[in-house]
Structure 1
Amino acid sequence: MFKHIVRIRWPIYKCHSFKCSPSVLSAIPISYLNVDVARSTTTLVQNRLHDSNENNFAYNIISKQLSPITYIRPTEAETLEEFESTLDKCWRDATATEIVEAIKSVKKYCIKNNITIEDTRFDKLVDGLMDHCEELTYVELVELLECLSELPLAHGYDTHNFHDVWSCLDDISCWQMLEWNVDQSFTVANLWFKLRLGRLCDYIFLLLDRLAKKADKLSKDQLVNVMFYLNVCRKRSVDFEYEYALSKKVNTMNIDELAVVAMGYFKTRTSIKILSIVDTMIKSVCENAKQAHDISLSAILKILRLSKPVKLTSDVFYMLDKLLPEIPRLSDLCCLHIALLSTGIQNYHPETLQIVSEKMVKNIHNKEKIRLKDIERILHVLTMFDYDPKTLPDIFHSCYNELHSTERADEFISYNRSLVSALHYLSLKNMYSYQLLDKILREEYITEVYGKAAKNVPRELFSLECSIDIECPDYKGSRLSKKLRHKVAKWTSDFTPSKDQVKKISSAEELILDAIDVTTNVVGGKDFIFVDHVLPHFSRADIVVCKDRETGKFIKPPGFEEYILGDVMFPVKDEKLTFYSIVILGWHNTIRDQNTPLGLMLMKKRQLEKIGYKPVFVIWKEFLSLSEDGRNGYISSKLM
């Protein structure tokens, strides 16, 4: 089958999850191409980074479940002459067994002298392997992969010889997989991970596809292995077959194994659908709070946040009570995930937010402990619930100062999107940096970070642009062009629903339509209401009504004819008129099951007041429970 393989240097990326040319690949950050060790491509200098603590931690858990690989050590080359003599033979005439033995025999010399398989002296040996690769037995394939993983790292996945060898062995692994049992398959998968090719090879993707068909027959340990390799691949979601099988075995897993499961879900951006799995994770954290490892806790907390276990809010709060005394021993990153869990259930645990904030503000100047990314995240959770921990020094001002620190200049490149988000969260506290606003609103910066398309400009940046008109009257720096601002507004605005729309009306849209109908009845007709995005950086439109103070009657809201989408719509300045802006707060705008608005809505209220409106909140929990007469009275009382 393989006798006539022609060795070529493949110009196209092999893995089916990417389809791009080398010129494109050279622009992709190396961390996206490898799991735990970064390699350069042939156009870059080799840049070996620290192994990923999280993946190594998970690998140590699953590797304990498999038998160690043992093989007879061949006679080893000790000198340069022996090394070159071994390689300088006509290996096309040898057997696959002899080729494997030859590679094993020079391994020690290569390690000692830092010789990679890219070396042209390996050409003949690699030629022979290409000719006889179909003859490799399972044991020889395992030995060869193990040997390659121990050799000095090649300079890139597509380098001379190395690409030919690993892509050939990848094909062999895929074709022979049907003859192996599950544990043998995982042994080979572990070796691909050790080779730093877990996200590149086809073998692991194919293995996961194959095992999904018999997920219910896998043992607990095998399911943990599956979740580890889903974490490694990241490009495929967790099959429901695996989740169903997990739900039957999850009660027998310890907290570290549950952490591996959590990593598989989180890295593939798949939320857990079966509630019993989430419940088991919460109970395991409660039982092991005092001795749980940072990485295990972080992994479980991340997937709990992603899965949004609203029905288990009371259990989540009980778990946070258990973790509260452990916060001093945990890393800052783990503590941050404890705080962020509140965003997943849209309800906050004030005690943990307080202690985590106090801990983070102490280390805020330490770049190794608190990254720009982490500053953005703690601001996110605190401003979401408008929670002020009143730390000393103040955490908001400390974060503001860190954004201006010259020592974090490199992080502005690494986490350029985090900078914009952090500035947006500070704007919720009415804190603005003119210096940084001038930087992020420059056309060159926006193009470099987000590209030229208006749809890629994030809502956070658009919010800062619009907030300048309202809260920064003396700002003189960079601004979005009127044309770009209008286009961005189109992409970030949710258009007002109508009763005759083709798309099925959602419950959120029904709330809006009901509020419009009731307001229309209260003010005396459609002519007396104006529905539009008066604050364009908020996705939902508001209902504007205008009352004549002298007559006490509602009139048609004047002065909005010249505005277009994307403009901040200031009301007419007339002491005889009162402009009301009716803001409809759905379930996602309030703290879960409460009437308390989230921080973003409090910012909207502040900005509406600043430009001349009298904001009125129509809260879903209050409004929906009322009768028709009750709703009319509810709106009327707010427009007094």
Structure 2
Amino acid sequence: MFSASKIMRRLLYKKCGAQEVLFTSVNKVQIPHKCFHNNVNLCVKMFVEHENKYAYKIMENKGYTISLNIQDKKSTLSKERFEDLMKENWSTYQPKQLFEVFSTLGCYCSEQNICISNKIFDNFIDNLTDNIKNASDNDLVTLFYSLARWPETESIRTRNYIEVWAALDDACLNRLKDWSYDEMLSFLSLFFMLNVTRASEFSQKCVQRLVNKEKHLAPGQLVQTLFFIGIVRKQPFDMHNIELRMQKCLQDLSLDDIAIMSMGFFKSKTPIRSMELVGRIIDRIIDNSNNINEISLASLLKVIRYSVKINTDDKIYRLLDTLQHEVHRLSVMCIVHLALVGTSTLTLHEDCLTKIAHTMINLLPSARLKDLERLVLTYGTLNFKPPEKDNLCFFEKIIDELQSPNRQEEVTKYGRSFACCLGFLGLLGIYPLDLMKKVLNPEFLLHTYGKHCFSYGREVLTIHNTSLIFHPDTEINRLSDKVATILAKKYTDYVPDENYKKQYNVTEKMFLDVYNVLKEDRGGSEYIKGDHILTHHQRGDIILCNSHSGTPLPVNEKIRDKDFGLIRTPPDDNRWIVLVIAGRNTVIQGSGTPSGHVLSKIRELNALGFYSTVVPWSAYIQLQTKEEKTTYLNNLIKEALK
């Protein structure tokens, strides 16, 4: 029969079965049988491994944390002695003896490549795990290193392997309250070595305990704490205090230290609230741009993009202006994050994006599909097409990559990323028919999204709608009207309505204000309507109609609610006008030009036969009186009708 602790470990096995762990232990790369993957499909996993190893190595070199290097230890166990050991009655062994045998077996099995999951070890593992609670702290450390010597298992949930680390987890959890900060961090490192940090209850509670005691942590301990927050990938309670502590001791931290801490914020999905702190980090990057490591730089760029949503100064532009000169030495992964950093604030630096495009043209074959998707999103959002290099168009090369036979395995595996990439090409007015057919193929949709249409992403609806707009006469396996309507309901917001009271945001309030001004000017609510013409765009628009002589005509009877979900065209030969409300975060910084999402909407509306124009937030908020607003809006309508 199982002991009580054994039953609990079996339950923990089931609990851990639902979790995914992305990190590979630092020491395992030193085991001879470890294989490195160079397939592009595994690039992101390898980057995460490399990123974590790099960060840990920095902390190790600075003396912040313990070394995880396992000394080579040749086994003195013969095959005969090993076979005799497997016949022993382990219940008669003392805990110390069991721990010593475990280390001996680890060395032997590493050389012979015998996995711990082998059933011949079941009896021994049962006795070992029942005695781990009796181990001293030093014995626990030895057990961690002994377990790491065994050949790598398929998963942290592999039988016997989970039994041992779960027992270690229980033992550490029971001692947590008695350990110093350094001891807690040392054992966190050991769980990281075993690749079980995210599944470990001790690690979760230890990280929270360290966050609660942030005022007492030295800078090096603070760096380690944020590193493990990133490994756990879960935001601890009261994370803001960690940010305040980081801001207070920033001058005592190196740029690599700050990069490691940035990983913690980004991976736990915690934006940095203080724009002063983000600004100081940007200044440090600019001052050290020519010697900053690309992994550190990528980590810093990620947290900057994640934290800064509104541009209050020119620091993002200055950052791009400085880093454009470093593009030539950066990896594909880092270049992608450099391109993305301006998207959250709609900061366009043409020279930087041009250098990125010209550099990436030759690196596209080695880029992941996800990298291509992010690059297309960047250029599409900022509505920028870089000049050609050596008569090569950047986006034609991307399309070539998407069509390449060498990519098909990756496209099959990451179909959603492929569809998103194609949808983002539409932001630039690029609609490759053969690729659109591929995405809308029922087999592709079934394999990528499953059999239920509700799981289809917005990108599927985008490709469906744009195929109707720009390839109306081409035979394609488009979505049914029913499926298109289901997706339209999922991906569109309710149109703001003055009769429906709620807390509207700035853009919605502007929508209502424009609606009311035009309603009064044109003669009543029957001459204006808020609705969705293009259902793959989140927000609705204001629809008007003029006769050829310029007289306002009723709208509600022609634009019917029951037609919602389908692409709408002008219902008659009158002049149908659509006003697109461009809110505060839809205009490229410093230019007044709408973002790619807004301009693509205008392009699509015009292709359907509407007369569309943008009402920019930056201009509209300058108008004080109703008369000024009426004049301004009517002038926009006249310009659209020309």
TM over 0.5: yes
Matches within 5 A, 1:548-587: 548-550=547-549, 552-557=550-555, 559-561=558-560, 564-574=563-573, 577-587=574-584
Contact 2:493 2:538 in 1 (8 A): yes
Contact 2:530 2:541 in 1 (8 A): yes
* Aligned counterparts of 2:174 and 2:397: Cα–Cα separation in 1: 57
SS in 2 for 1:345: coil
- Tell whether 2:585 aligns with 1:588: yes
| 2:79 partner amino acid | L
Contact 2:173 2:201 in 1 (8 A): yes
Contact 1:304 1:341 in 2 (8 A): yes
Deviation at 1:13, TM superposition (A): 4.2
Contact 1:7 1:164 in 2 (8 A): no
Per-residue CA deviation, residues 323-355 of structure 1 (Å, 9 max, x unaligned), is: 222111111221121111111221111111010
* Aligned counterparts of 2:98 and 2:289: Cα–Cα separation in 1: 52
* Aligned counterparts of 2:320 and 2:351: Cα–Cα separation in 1: 9
Deviation at 1:412, TM superposition (A): 0.6
SS in 1 for 2:570: coil
Residue in 2 that maps onto 1:272: 272
Residue in 1 that maps onto 2:254: 254
| 1:254 partner amino acid | S
Identify which range, 456-465 or 120-129, moves more after superposition. Answer: 120-129
Contact 1:521 1:632 in 2 (8 A): no
In the superposition, relative to structure 1, how do residues 127 and 544 fare at CA in structure 2: closer, same or farther (>3 Å)? closer
Per-residue CA deviation, residues 179-222 of structure 1 (Å, 9 max, x unaligned), is: 21111111111111111212222221111122222111111111
* Aligned counterparts of 2:539 and 2:310: Cα–Cα separation in 1: 24
* Aligned counterparts of 1:98 and 1:292: Cα–Cα separation in 2: 49
| 1:299 partner amino acid | S
Identify which range, 385-394 or 307-316, moves more after superposition. Answer: 307-316
Deviation at 1:3, TM superposition (A): 7.1
Structure 1: which 5+ residue stretches go unaligned? 26-31, 39-45
Counterpart of 1:33 (choices 10, 21, 28) is 21
Deviation at 1:489, TM superposition (A): 0.6
In the superposition, relative to structure 1, how do residues 8 and 229 fare at CA in structure 2: closer, same or farther (>3 Å)? closer
SS in 1 for 2:114: coil
Contact 1:231 1:264 in 2 (8 A): yes
Deviation at 1:237, TM superposition (A): 5.3
In the superposition, relative to structure 1, how do residues 318 and 434 fare at CA in structure 2: closer, same or farther (>3 Å)? closer
Instruction: Report the count of equivalent residues.
Output: 614
Deviation at 1:446, TM superposition (A): 2.6
Deviation at 1:497, TM superposition (A): 1.4
* Aligned counterparts of 1:516 and 1:288: Cα–Cα separation in 2: 51
SS in 1 for 2:542: strand
Matches within 5 A, 1:627-638: 627=624, 628-638=626-636
Residue in 2 that maps onto 1:341: 341
- Tell whether 2:609 aligns with 1:612: yes
* Aligned counterparts of 1:237 and 1:533: Cα–Cα separation in 2: 41
Residue in 2 that maps onto 1:535: 534
Identify which range, 506-515 or 248-257, moves more after superposition. Answer: 248-257
Per-residue CA deviation, residues 392-423 of structure 1 (Å, 9 max, x unaligned), is: 31011111121111100111133211111111
* Aligned counterparts of 1:180 and 1:313: Cα–Cα separation in 2: 46
- Tell whether 2:507 aligns with 1:512: no
* Aligned counterparts of 1:321 and 1:460: Cα–Cα separation in 2: 32
Matches within 5 A, 1:42-191: 52-64=49-61, 65-68=64-67, 77-191=76-190
Contact 1:89 1:124 in 2 (8 A): no
Residue in 1 that maps onto 2:376: 379
Residue in 2 that maps onto 1:286: 286
SS in 2 for 1:582: strand
In the superposition, relative to structure 1, how do residues 83 and 19 fare at CA in structure 2: closer, same or farther (>3 Å)? closer
Per-residue CA deviation, residues 477-511 of structure 1 (Å, 9 max, x unaligned), is: 11111111111111111111123424222222110
Deviation at 1:309, TM superposition (A): 5.3
* Aligned counterparts of 2:305 and 2:560: Cα–Cα separation in 1: 44
Identify which range, 139-148 or 453-462, moves more after superposition. Answer: 453-462
Contact 1:332 1:359 in 2 (8 A): no
* Aligned counterparts of 2:70 and 2:610: Cα–Cα separation in 1: 79
Identify which range, 578-587 or 511-520, moves more after superposition. Answer: 578-587
Residue in 2 that maps onto 1:300: 300
- Tell whether 2:390 aligns with 1:402: no
Contact 2:465 2:536 in 1 (8 A): yes
| 1:350 partner amino acid | E
Residue in 1 that maps onto 2:464: 465
| 1:578 partner amino acid | R
Contact 1:34 1:197 in 2 (8 A): no
SS in 2 for 1:534: coil
| 2:552 partner amino acid | F
Aligned-residue RMSD, C-alpha? 2.7
Structure 2: which 5+ residue stretches go unaligned? 27-33, 39-45
Residue in 1 that maps onto 2:29: none
Deviation at 1:124, TM superposition (A): 3.9
| 1:63 partner amino acid | E
Deviation at 1:452, TM superposition (A): 4.5
Per-residue CA deviation, residues 126-176 of structure 1 (Å, 9 max, x unaligned), is: 233233222111000011101111221123323332221111111111111
Residue in 2 that maps onto 1:621: 618
Deviation at 1:630, TM superposition (A): 0.7
In the superposition, relative to structure 1, how do residues 531 and 319 fare at CA in structure 2: closer, same or farther (>3 Å)? closer
* Aligned counterparts of 1:117 and 1:448: Cα–Cα separation in 2: 36
* Aligned counterparts of 1:156 and 1:337: Cα–Cα separation in 2: 30
* Aligned counterparts of 2:256 and 2:368: Cα–Cα separation in 1: 26
SS in 2 for 1:342: coil
Residue in 2 that maps onto 1:236: 235
* Aligned counterparts of 2:66 and 2:597: Cα–Cα separation in 1: 54
SS in 2 for 1:639: helix
* Aligned counterparts of 1:68 and 1:554: Cα–Cα separation in 2: 77
Residue in 1 that maps onto 2:455: 456
Deviation at 1:598, TM superposition (A): 0.8
Per-residue CA deviation, residues 38-58 of structure 1 (Å, 9 max, x unaligned), is: 9xxxxxxx9875851111111
In the superposition, relative to structure 1, how do residues 560 and 121 fare at CA in structure 2: closer, same or farther (>3 Å)? closer
SS in 2 for 1:545: strand
Residue in 2 that maps onto 1:319: 319
| 1:554 partner amino acid | P
Deviation at 1:312, TM superposition (A): 5.5
* Aligned counterparts of 1:295 and 1:449: Cα–Cα separation in 2: 31
Residue in 2 that maps onto 1:220: 219
* Aligned counterparts of 1:119 and 1:485: Cα–Cα separation in 2: 52
TM-score normalized by the length of structure 1: 0.90
Residue in 1 that maps onto 2:41: none
Deviation at 1:298, TM superposition (A): 0.6
In the superposition, relative to structure 1, how do residues 13 and 520 fare at CA in structure 2: closer, same or farther (>3 Å)? farther
| Percent identity between the two aligned chains | 27
TM-score normalized by the length of structure 2: 0.90
| 1:609 partner amino acid | N
Contact 2:373 2:420 in 1 (8 A): yes
Deviation at 1:73, TM superposition (A): 11
In the superposition, relative to structure 1, how do residues 63 and 639 fare at CA in structure 2: closer, same or farther (>3 Å)? same
Identify which range, 336-345 or 74-83, moves more after superposition. Answer: 74-83
Per-residue CA deviation, residues 81-111 of structure 1 (Å, 9 max, x unaligned), is: 2333445433323222222122223333222
* Aligned counterparts of 2:158 and 2:100: Cα–Cα separation in 1: 23
Identify which range, 194-203 or 149-158, moves more after superposition. Answer: 149-158
